[in-house]
Amino acid sequence: MLDENVPPVSFLEELHLNLPEWRYIVVGLISAFIQEALEPFFTIILSKIIAVFVGTDKEAIGEQAMSFSFMFVLSGVLSFVTFRLMDLLSAYIYAINIALSRAMISFALATCCAFGIWFLTTGRMDFESVIFSAISVLCGAWAAAHIMKPAIDNLSQEGESPDHFDGNVRFEDVWFNYPSRPDVPILKGLNLEVAQGETVALMGSSGCGKSTIMQLLERFYDPREGRVVLDGRDMKQLNIHWVRAQVAFVSKDPVLFKCSLAENIAYGDNSRTVTMEEIQAAAEAANIHTFIEELPQKYETQVGDKGMQLSGGQKQRIAIARAILRNPKVLLLDEAASALDTESEMVVLDKARQGRTCIVVTHCLSILRKADRIAVLQGGVVVEQGTHQQLLAKKGVYFMSVAMQLCHGRV
């Protein structure tokens, strides 16, 4: 519980606490000041350059246009340097790309001015054509500045699409860090194998890599080193649409759409027309069918914006029904039944994991006891594996975690 009687802290004391980062603060402030000052400077120069082209003295036009072109180049260089400095404070990977994207517009305008005045003074183009060409190039530069090719192409049709998939999953010496934090490794040589039809529970403190494992299996990211292997095939060699069709994910706070309960469940497989019988069967497996049938409009009941008409547990069961309807070979559950009571939780998870590989992120002892295997993560690697009883007998990390839960009454 928070202490409401915390004494106030002065601004100078806060600055003193941040003293080790003073270099970053100073560089960031200077860079931000320069970058914001460039915006009005850019606007003024742009208006001046347009006015220059209206003149009639070709020599004066040439001299002024070249000086303004140089100012555009200077603006681009300053923009590149300031964004490069600010980005270096947080992420090295995107620093150059972001800096170049900001500077590209100024460089494009400088080029347009230089060539435009040459075409105008030599009589090869008139004023209207020069302005038209300049705006076209500027729009192209603006578009190019905002296009960054993703590391994983979600629309790619390349890769294998096997006819059969058993559901075997293996992580081989996987190293990973998020692109926005390249200096903070999340997985550090992770080795983990989940066999067909096995239910493996992942347990560990925040930041140990549990949710990262889920995202790698959905191929939102690729490992920096190592491989994620499905049935002996490197995931990178498989078609991304095929991979995601084999996997279903349910989070602690699932997203529901502003439509009916039936439509929300049917969204689990939008590659075909889902029958009402299939929707009801999925709802029964998720232990939500009885509740829906008691509603006045039954499956046509609107859930509201983001499912606001439902409780947390009801939203989770709808999301699980949606995942079951998809009939995936691999089911990923990230604290997906945390809002349910223990009895409902076990009923739902028992039905959800039947006939498929299941990876569950949880700290709930009732689920951990029933998992085929528990993998305890710490510092981006698996430090312990085994059943609930086997890990208790080791009296290691898992034993200490369970003991703490029991001491705090969290079972």
Percent of the chain past pLDDT 90, that is, above it, reads 8
Q: Which two tokens stand for residue 354?
A: 């039947």
> pLDDT band for position 403 (50/70/90)?
confident
Same-domain status, 120 and 226: no
Per-position DSSP letters for 144-155, written without gaps between them: HHT----SS-TT
Indicate the residue among 109, 130, 145 that finishes a domain.
145
> pLDDT band for position 93 (50/70/90)?
very low
Same-domain status, 93 and 213: no
Tell me the C-alpha distance between 102 and 85, whole Å.
13
What pLDDT shows up at residue 168?
92
> pLDDT band for position 397 (50/70/90)?
confident
CATH of the domain at 274: 3.40.50.300
What pLDDT shows up at residue 69?
61
Same-domain status, 102 and 182: no
Question: Mean pLDDT across the chain, nearest whole number?
Answer: 76
Q: Which two tokens stand for residue 273?
A: 């027309």
Per-position DSSP letters for 144-208, written without gaps between them: HHT----SS-TT---SB--S-----EEEEEEEE--TT-TTS-SEEEEEEEE-TT-EEEEE-STTS
> pLDDT band for position 356 (50/70/90)?
confident
Q: Does residue 362 carry a pLDDT above 80?
A: yes
| pTM to 2 decimal places | 0.63
pLDDT in tens, 230-280: 988 999 899 998 998 898 888 888 888 888 899 989 988 887 888 999 999
Q: Which two tokens stand for residue 36?
A: 């914001």
Helices (H) and strands (E) in the chain, counts: 15, 10
Same-domain status, 141 and 255: no
- Residue 6 maps to a domain: no
pLDDT in tens, 159-204: 888 888 888 999 999 999 888 787 788 888 899 999 998 999 998 8
What pLDDT shows up at residue 183?
79
Same-domain status, 140 and 183: no
What pLDDT shows up at residue 89?
47
Percent of the chain past pLDDT 70, that is, above it, reads 62
- If one compares 22 and 229, the residue with the highest pLDDT of the two is 229
What does the CA dihedral 4, 7, 8, 9 come to, rounded to 10 degrees?
-120
Region for 239 from its dihedrals, namely left if φ exceeds 0, alpha if ψ lies in -120 to 50, beta otherwise: beta
What pLDDT shows up at residue 170?
92
Q: Does residue 305 carry a pLDDT above 70?
A: yes
Same-domain status, 306 and 361: yes
What pLDDT shows up at residue 192?
92
What pLDDT shows up at residue 3?
44
Tell me the C-alpha distance between 401 and 203, whole Å.
9
- Residue 55 maps to a domain: yes
What pLDDT shows up at residue 42?
61
pLDDT in tens, 21-74: 666 667 667 766 666 666 666 666 666 666 665 555 656 666 666 666 666 666
Same-domain status, 178 and 130: no
Same-domain status, 356 and 287: yes
Indicate the residue among 145, 179, 208 that finishes a domain.
145
Q: Does residue 10 carry a pLDDT above 60?
A: yes
Average pLDDT over residues 119-128: 68
Q: Determine contact, residues 85/26, Cβ cutoff 8 Å.
A: no
- Residue 160 maps to a domain: no
Q: Determine contact, residues 330/356, Cβ cutoff 8 Å.
A: yes
Indicate the residue among 80, 112, 145 that finishes a domain.
145
Q: Determine contact, residues 167/200, Cβ cutoff 8 Å.
A: no
Q: How many domains does the chain have?
A: 2
Same-domain status, 379 and 245: yes
Same-domain status, 127 and 222: no
- Residue 36 maps to a domain: yes
Tell me the C-alpha distance between 346 and 233, whole Å.
33
Q: Does residue 307 carry a pLDDT above 70?
A: yes
- Residue 389 maps to a domain: yes
**Domain housing 215:** 169-407
Q: Does residue 148 carry a pLDDT above 80?
A: no
Tell me which residue of 367, 371, 376, 374 sits closest to 344, measured CA to CA: 367
Q: Which two tokens stand for residue 228?
A: 């994620």
Same-domain status, 117 and 190: no
- Residue 379 maps to a domain: yes
- Residue 397 maps to a domain: yes
pLDDT in tens, 74-92: 666 666 565 555 444 444 4
pLDDT in tens, 310-339: 888 888 888 889 888 888 899 898 877 676
- Residue 179 maps to a domain: yes
Same-domain status, 281 and 185: yes
Q: Does residue 346 carry a pLDDT above 80?
A: no
